[in-house]
Amino acid sequence: MKVIGCGNPDRGDDSAGIEVAKRLRQAGLAAEIHTGDALGLLEKWSDGDDITLVDAVVTGARPGTLHVWECSHSAFALPKAVRDAAVSSHGFDLARAIELACTLGKLPARLRIFGIEGREFERGAAPSKEVSIAIDELVRRIQAEARVYGSAKPYD
């Protein structure tokens, strides 16, 4: 499993993916940080990878809600609220990058997306309390999964 935390470290809740990746690193797991636009993610995975992406999302759910979506070669189903989200600090958004990867045959063997519902995206803001709690929960969840499935070693 390859974990990639996405976001902008200077925009409050948008730093959620980055914070998850940092904490996983502190716990001894390898995790990448991606702060560029989502199109750059295609360079970070191959069709044989098992990719877990973590990013802040805005769907209208309660802040701190943890969403999970699975994408595969045969199925791509991010909800409409995520696909149409107006909030994106990444330029080329995640949904469009996944659609492009599907079209080009570049989708990883397994792509799981953890979206943490955000509400505070102002420049210089700290993550909200609700998002901080969700970050803690997700780090524990990924660590437990890594132990169970033997992915606790850093990946190349």
Domain contains 23? yes
Q: List residues bridging with 31 in a β-sheet.
A: 3
Q: Which residues contact 139 (CB under 8 A, 6 or more apart)?
A: 20, 23, 24, 27
pLDDT tens for each residue of 73-115: 555 556 555 554 434 444 457 777 887 888 888 888 888 999 9
The domain containing residue 46 runs over which residues?
A: 2-149
CA distances, 86 to each of 39, 83, 93 (Å): 17, 9, 10
pLDDT value of residue 156? 36
Q: Does residue 33 or residue 38 have the better pLDDT? A: 33
Residue 122's CATH number: 3.40.50.1450
Domain contains 64? yes
pLDDT value of residue 22? 97
Domain contains 156? no
Domain contains 120? yes
From the CA atom positions of the chain, what is the Rg in Å?
Answer: 14
Domain count, the chain: 1
Q: What is the pTM of this model?
A: 0.84
Average pLDDT of the residues of the chain? 83
Could you tell me whether strands 110-117 and 66-71 are parallel, antiparallel, or unpaired per DSSP bridges? antiparallel
Number of helices (H), then strands (E), belonging to the chain: the values are 4, 5
Asked if pLDDT for residue 153 goes beyond 80, the answer is: no
Domain contains 154? no
pLDDT value of residue 151? 58
pLDDT value of residue 67? 94
Domain contains 155? no
| Token pair listed for 67 | 């969403």
Q: In which element (H, E) is residue 3 found?
A: strand 2-6
Domain contains 109? yes
What are the two backbone dihedrals, phi and then psi, of residue 101, each rounded to the nearest 5 degrees?
-60, -40
Domain contains 57? yes
pLDDT value of residue 78? 60
